[in-house]
Chain A
Amino acid sequence: MNDVILIAGMALVTFSVRYPVLALVGKMSLPTPLRRALSFVPAAVLTAIVVPALLYPASSDHVDISLGNSQLFAGIVAIVVAWRSRNLLLTIVLGMLALWGYRWLFHL
C-alpha cells in the first residue's frame, strides 16, 4: 500500500512539473534568477546522493576513508574517467569494473 502511494505520488509530482508549464506558458516565462537556480538542481541533488554513498558504505554511521572502502575507490575511478573521457557509458562500465576488481583483489 505504501508503495502504491509512493508511485502515485512520484507520478503526480513529475507530471505537475512537466505539464502545467508546457500548457500555460507562452504567455508567461520563468524569471531568470529562478531559471539559473534550477539549472544547479540536478548536479546538487545527485552529488548529495553520491557523496554519502561513497563515504558511508554498508550503512555504517561513520565516515570510512580506509583502503577497505571499495566504493570510495570505484567512485574516484568513475570521477576521473568521466572527467577525462566525457563518456557516460564508459564511466559506468569502468566504475563497476573498478568496484568488482578492487573487491576481488583485496578479498572484500
Chain B
Amino acid sequence: MQTTAAVTTTRAAEFRAGVKDTFPLVVGAIPFGIIFGAVAINSGLSPVEAGAMSAFVFAGSAQFIAANLIAHSVAVPIIIFTTFVVNLRHALYSAALAPYVKHLPQRWLVPLGFSLTDETFAVVVTYFGKADGSPYKHWYYLGSSVFMYVNWQVCTWIGITAGKIIPANLGLDFAAIVTFIGIVVLSIRERAAIAAVLVAGLFAVLAKPLPNGLGLIVAALCGVAAGVVAEAWLKEARLPQGGERSHE
C-alpha cells in the first residue's frame, strides 16, 4: 500500500493525506457502486430504497448479496442475518484499529466505526502502524472514510439512473456473481481457504432445497468449519519439519 511519505502534522494535512492514499481504491470501487445501483433497482428495490441502502448500510459486498437475495425473494430475516455474517470480517478490522483510536471521544468513534470498509481499513491500518507521532491520525482515517462514502453514494446514483435504461434481460445481475468470483479467487492465499471454498460450494448445492435461502447459511458455516479443520490439519502435518512460513 502506497502511503504518503512526509510526516503531516495538521488536521487538514492528515485529512488530505487520507484522501490521497485512498484514491486508487476509490477508483476500484467506482464500477462496483455503479453496478450495485443498476443491480439493486433491477432486483425490485425502488431508487430511493437502493440509495438509502448505500447511505445507511455502506457495505459493498453485503449490499450486492442483499440485492441478489431480494431478486430471489429470500425472506427478510435471512437477508439481514446474511448481511451480519458477511460483515463479520469488519469486527476483525475494528479490533486491529481499536488500539489506535481508544483515546477518541464517541463523536469520533461513531462515524469512524460506521464508515469502516475494506478499502479504508487497508489504507488506515498501514498508516496507523507508522510511528511518526502525529496526534491527528484520526483525521487521516476520516479523510479516507469521507472520500469512500461520497464516492459510493455518487456511484450508486449513477447506477440507479443507468439501471432504468439498461434492459433486464442483459443479465446485469450476473456482474455481481463475477465480482464475487474475483473476490473469492483473489482472496485465496492458503490451502485451508481452498478447503473452505470447496466445501462451501458443495454444501451450497446439497443444502439448496432448504427453505428461505437457509442453505446459504448452512453452506457458509460448513465452509468456515472446513477451513478451520484444514488449517489445524495442515499445521499438524507441518510441525515435524517446522519453520515453514506462516500465512497471515
Instruction: Using CB atoms and an 8 Å cutoff, list the residues of chain A in contact with chain B.
Output: 2-11, 13-26, 29-30, 33, 35-56, 59, 63, 71, 74-75, 78-79, 82-83, 86, 88-89, 91-92, 95-96, 99-100, 103
User: Does B52 lie at the interface of the complex (its beta carbon under 8 Å from any beta carbon of A)?
Assistant: yes
User: Does B2 lie at the interface of the complex (its beta carbon under 8 Å from any beta carbon of A)?
Assistant: no
Query: A residues within 8 A CB of B186?
Result: 82, 86, 88
A88–B92 touching, CB < 8 Å: no
Query: B residues within 8 A CB of A89?
Result: 28, 31
Query: B residues within 8 A CB of A3?
Result: 45-46, 49
Interface size on B, residues (CB 8 A): 89
A37–B31 touching, CB < 8 Å: no
**Nearest chain B CB to A81 CB, angstrom units:** 8
Which B33-70 residues have a C-beta within 8 angstroms of A? 35, 45-46, 49, 52-53, 56-59, 61-63, 65-66, 68, 70
- Complex formed: what's the CA distance from A38 to B85 in Å? 9
B227 CB contact (under 8 Å) in A2, A18, A29, A37 = A37
Select from chain A the residue with minimum beta-carbon distance to B115: A18
Select from chain A the residue with minimum beta-carbon distance to B121: A18
A40–B196 touching, CB < 8 Å: yes
A79 CB contact (under 8 Å) in B185, B199, B200, B208 = B185
10 tightest Cβ-Cβ pairs between the two chains A and B: A44-B223, A19-B113, A95-B178, A40-B227, A21-B94, A26-B102, A82-B185, A91-B182, A25-B98, A48-B219
**Nearest chain B CB to A107 CB, angstrom units:** 13
**Nearest chain A CB to B195 CB, angstrom units:** 9
Extra contacts besides A19-B113, A95-B174 (7): CB < 8 Å: A29-B95, A35-B92, A38-B89, A46-B183, A82-B185, A92-B182, A96-B174
Q: Which of B74-82, B128-136, B237-245 contacts A (4 or more CB under 8 A)?
A: B74-82
- Complex formed: what's the CA distance from A104 to B222 in Å? 38
Query: A residues within 8 A CB of B112?
Result: 22
Query: A residues within 8 A CB of B204?
Result: 47-49, 51-52
- Complex formed: what's the CA distance from A8 to B196 in Å? 31
B171–A91 touching, CB < 8 Å: no
Select from chain B the residue with minimum beta-carbon distance to A97: B178
Query: B residues within 8 A CB of A6?
Result: 66, 70, 76, 79-80
Query: B residues within 8 A CB of A49?
Result: 65, 68, 177, 180, 204, 216
> What are some 14 contacts across the A-B interface (CB < 8 A)?
A6-B70, A10-B56, A14-B62, A19-B109, A21-B98, A42-B187, A45-B82, A47-B201, A49-B65, A55-B205, A88-B183, A92-B175, A92-B179, A92-B182
B28–A37 touching, CB < 8 Å: no
User: Does B13 lie at the interface of the complex (its beta carbon under 8 Å from any beta carbon of A)?
Assistant: no
Query: B residues within 8 A CB of A53?
Result: 68, 174, 177
A17–B224 touching, CB < 8 Å: no
Query: B residues within 8 A CB of A13?
Result: 80-81, 83-84, 87
Task: Evaluate whether A91 and B52 lie within 8 angstroms (CB atoms) in the complex, with A10-B80, A19-B109, A44-B219 already known.
Answer: no
Task: Evaluate whether A22 and B94 lie within 8 angstroms (CB atoms) in the complex, with A3-B45, A78-B178 already known.
Answer: yes
